[in-house]
Amino acid sequence: MLRLKIPRDWLLVLFLVIIVCLFLNLALPCFLSGFWGTYVVQPVIWGLLVFFILRLPRYKGAGKLRLRSLLIKLAAGIAIFQIYLTLIAGFFEKFGRSPNSFTPKGIVINLVFVATSLAGIELSRAWLINRRARKPSTLLPVFIALLFTYFSLPPGQIPKISSSLEVVTEFLGSTFLPTFMENLLASFLALWGGALPALTYRGIIQAFNWFCPVLPDLNWLMKAFTGIIVPVVGLVIIQEISLAKSHLARYRRQTGKGLTGWLITSIGMVIMFWFFLGVFPVHPTVIFTGSMRPAIEVGDVVIVARVNPKLLKVGDVVQFRLKEKTIPTVHRIIDTRREGNKLLYITKGDANNYPDTEPVHPEQVTGKQVFIIPKAGWASIAVKQLLSKG
């Protein structure tokens, strides 16, 4: 029987990190909130953790020593490019003033707060990974990344089980996945180069977020794009370079391909998930009724593209969502009329004898038909009928 031997000191440090994070996130705010709890007690606790980690024996990571300087440069470049991409996105969205204080006293207080927490997290991350990972490993950095991601999220931001799909999707895209990818990249930097490359990457990101007086105010889609794409690309680059410069040829073949494939598959699944949720400007809709026959049959999939409602005209097939209906409707515009300054659309299914009872408002239009995939939605209809019977 195969037994997994886990060193006691590793379990002790893991337990200590979990206790510290739970205390700071859950217990401390209950009895000491505000300035003293946040900017005095937290830095002291993180400082004690740093002191404890530095007293422990040092362990060499999976990469060679000369790889560390290269990883530090790459980590800095990835962080700067991520900030650059965020700034570019801000020009397409908008900017807002930072909520942090920029008085000399406020800068010093925030600097101590950020530096101690960052040092505590990254030194403990690197020690936990390097104590166990003498050779390239995927499982341990992913586990450590998930652990620190969970403790990085304020409890109030995590959706409840009863939350709607839209709320969960927004949380995953704007908060969880960017935080996880940042921690995952930091974990692999710690695996190959120790704490310094991870500190460099996250330190530059945190410095921008905390000490830039004007920050991009992005919607959750832009946050998801900038917070996921750059770390993913950076992670693939780091892994490929680190494996290429290591002497572990067998692990270069196995671990490198495994991680790259895992990342590509994960990002592909996220993109497909967002596509079917209608996150992108183009999304699919399954037709469940025959109101648009013969142009659109039951089971067809209509590809719908977002469009400025002002550009719609009579004859266009549009998708719109009424408040009292959970499933969007796909019908044709047969006429328009005005109510005051607002243009309304009169719609009708091609197979229906009469127009729809209510006119469609521009804000109810979710897109215009651009393409039809015949019979591609029958699997979705079958699953829905099966679930409704159950």
Fold category of 284-389 in CATH: Umud Fragment, subunit A (2.10.109)
Minimum mean pLDDT range among 35-44, 58-67, 177-186, 208-217: 58-67
Minimum mean pLDDT range among 57-66, 255-264, 280-289, 346-355: 255-264
Q: What is the mean pLDDT of residues 39-57?
A: 93
- pLDDT of residue 85 exceeding 80: yes
Which residues, other chains included, contact 264 with Cβ-Cβ below 8 Å and sequence gap of 6+? none
Q: E-strand spans in 14-112?
A: 95-97
State how far the Cα of 129 lies from the Cα of 143, in Å rounded to an integer.
Answer: 10
Q: Residue 374 in contact with residue 286, Cβ under 8 Å?
A: no
Annotated catalytic residue, options 117, 187, 246, 331: 331
Looking at residue 170, what is its pLDDT? 74
291 is catalytic: yes
In degrees and rounded to multiples of 5, residue 79 shows phi and psi of -65, -45
Q: Residue 251 in contact with residue 267, Cβ under 8 Å?
A: no
For residue 241, CA distances in Å to 64, 191, 227, 237, 261 come to 12, 13, 22, 6, 16
Which residues, other chains included, contact 15 with Cβ-Cβ below 8 Å and sequence gap of 6+? none
Looking at residue 64, what is its pLDDT? 63
217 is catalytic: no
Annotated catalytic residue, options 137, 187, 242, 356: 356
Q: Residue 120 in contact with residue 48, Cβ under 8 Å?
A: no
Looking at residue 1, what is its pLDDT? 36
Annotated catalytic residue, options 117, 187, 291, 300: 291
Q: Which residues of 51-89 are buried (b: 16+ CB within 10 A; e: fewer)?
A: ebbeeeeebebbbeeebbebbbebbeebbeebbebbbeb
Domain locations along the chain: 8-277, 284-389
State how far the Cα of 134 lies from the Cα of 340, in Å rounded to an integer.
Answer: 72
Q: Which residues of 362-377 are buried (b: 16+ CB within 10 A; e: fewer)?
A: eebbbbbbeebeeeeb
- pLDDT of residue 261 exceeding 70: no
Nearest to 248 by CA among 68, 63, 61, 70: 63
